[in-house]
Structure 1
């Protein structure tokens, strides 16, 4: 039975990640076609695409009677994003450069978000009022991002939204000296979209204006796009359902608390999109995407992955998450902020981050 439920767990994670990709691709194309501004599409759909698995699995966990998974998932994902993903990225890339835009905007927002999350978690339960506060704060964060989008003019910022959803990079076309819109996913590059300039934010790497393909074209979506939107929602729902079912069964078989598995295996599994985005960006020497991806994901996890389910159900925080996970998240975020202020994350720091993650796992499973 252990092998069976482990297999179900792994397949469910893969389905959850793939369903998230499909949802972002189809919803983005439909949103543009019905007249939403590219910036709004980027913030609301593409910008949070890599965190859909955490959000959906937390919602399903609440509905299936294991609400402690929500807090454990968010805290564990934040820890994995910093210690595991940033650690691996720094180790692989040998050095990550932290740009001024990340230091001026995202570092303070991440620090504020983490402090607020710590305040919400400290008493061991997330109430409706606290969840509402988290959602309002995230709305303020989005508004703040929009108000500051015109201030970004660095040429090294590229559109990470495409990387979030598909991991494939568009190349400029030569026709009429125009470019394919790098923020669009799926088959959108075959569509000709008008209005001259599209603006897509990435989380952390914000707002690069990119010339559009043709001044005379229109953005369209087909019945297939709508079909894939529906399919992706169904896939996400079933993937999350079986993920939580397998999580509960594994906790029984292994005699571990549900929260312990959620803060480790589920958190790492649902952070795979962030891992793929950051490692690919690191290989391409695009540190701002690699780091901006983590900044935005942690902010989303802190506010929405906990806040949205908390609007419908009080969320308990299990003891492992409260006494091991929360202090680790606070320490990891502090290290990340200090590294960011120094403007560089070196290879030795990446190795240090990874060693801290191993120590976190060891403490969690009482290996010392």
Structure 2
């Protein structure tokens, strides 16, 4: 009993360190992005999304290297379910009615849905190979290139309009060296936190007799999704729906294509029946619900409550509570 309590404390402490280091990393990366004049949506879909997915990435890579590849799929798919059901739901409740202006329907939403279906099809055989990983990373690269190019076109149009109106464009202030130092230090603590998170998950699963993939899809997924929760809820409260929606969309795309892809480069990922039989279908349902509620470019409080109820159902079924 004492040993179980000790490892539970290690899990909570290492996860807290992982999340805090990720928060510092994301904040530093966001400041760098703002300093270079990147728009809120692109910051959300690239810098913040990748930054807030850092806990999932580091813990997943270390899980493969430590011989627990089954954690990866549970962490990734569980995080995607958590992002949509819990985080988007709470964001909609806090924001009351989030109305977005960015045109998602052209490329972002189809790739968002496509990434979930692509990964689901790849893991149906119970494994995720290097060839499949490279294909996912290629898809992610295409999306990032598109996002950056689309932003550059929008910037040129905006600058041309301002020049025609005679509005002086102020010079962007570049971030100082302290920001880059914080970024580097946070990476070190990310590694420490992720390392002990993986070790404690394996030990706890052995002690309580619960599969590591179940703990990964619930506790680890929730813990590593806390950066997304903080960023999206804060953005919703500040009436910045594009940042909240873009963060979740970009994070899920990066989870499905980037984290699965990068992790598989360190070894073949093993996908358990719990993942293929329940967590994966729930991720597909969550993805389709996101598509439906975002299509009209607004999310109401009632839709937010509905998403949170779905998350409660997800946890209940995962632990066979009903």
Match of 1:305? 259
The 5 Å alignment of 1:72-87 reads 72-87=74-89
| Residue 104 (structure 1) shift | 3.2
Match of 1:294? 248
Match of 1:167? none
Instruction: Return 5+ residue gaps in structure 1 as ranges.
Output: 154-176, 179-195, 197-210
The 5 Å alignment of 1:223-262 reads 225-226=180-181, 228-262=182-216
TM-score of the aligned structures, taking structure 1 as reference length = 0.76
Q: CA RMSD in A?
A: 2.7
The answer to which structure has the higher helix fraction is: 2
Q: Is the 8 A contact 1:83 1:354 kept in 2?
A: yes
| Residue 288 (structure 1) shift | 1.3
Say yes or no: does 1:341 pair with 2:319.
no
Distance 2:138 2:64 in 1: 21
The 5 Å alignment of 1:1-368 reads 1-24=3-26, 45-152=47-154, 211-213=170-172, 220-221=176-177, 225-226=180-181, 228-368=182-322
Distance 1:8 1:100 in 2: 42
TM-score of the aligned structures, taking structure 2 as reference length = 0.86
CA shift in 2, pair 1:337/1:25, >3 Å: closer
| Residue 305 (structure 1) shift | 0.8
| Residue 234 (structure 1) shift | 2.2
CA shift in 2, pair 1:320/1:32, >3 Å: same
Instruction: Return 5+ residue gaps in structure 2 as ranges.
Output: 156-166
| Residue 148 (structure 1) shift | 1.3
Runs of 4+ that moved beyond 6 A: 27-33
Q: Is the 8 A contact 1:117 1:302 kept in 2?
A: yes
What's the secondary structure of 1:268's corresponding residue? helix
Aligned length: 306
Distance 2:46 2:94 in 1: 31
Distance 2:12 2:198 in 1: 11
CA shift in 2, pair 1:348/1:309, >3 Å: same
| Residue 213 (structure 1) shift | 4.9
Distance 2:227 2:250 in 1: 13
Distance 1:225 1:108 in 2: 35
Q: Compare relative contact order (CA 8 Å, sep 6+) and give the higher one, 1 or 2.
A: 2
| Residue 367 (structure 1) shift | 1.7
What's the secondary structure of 2:177's corresponding residue? coil
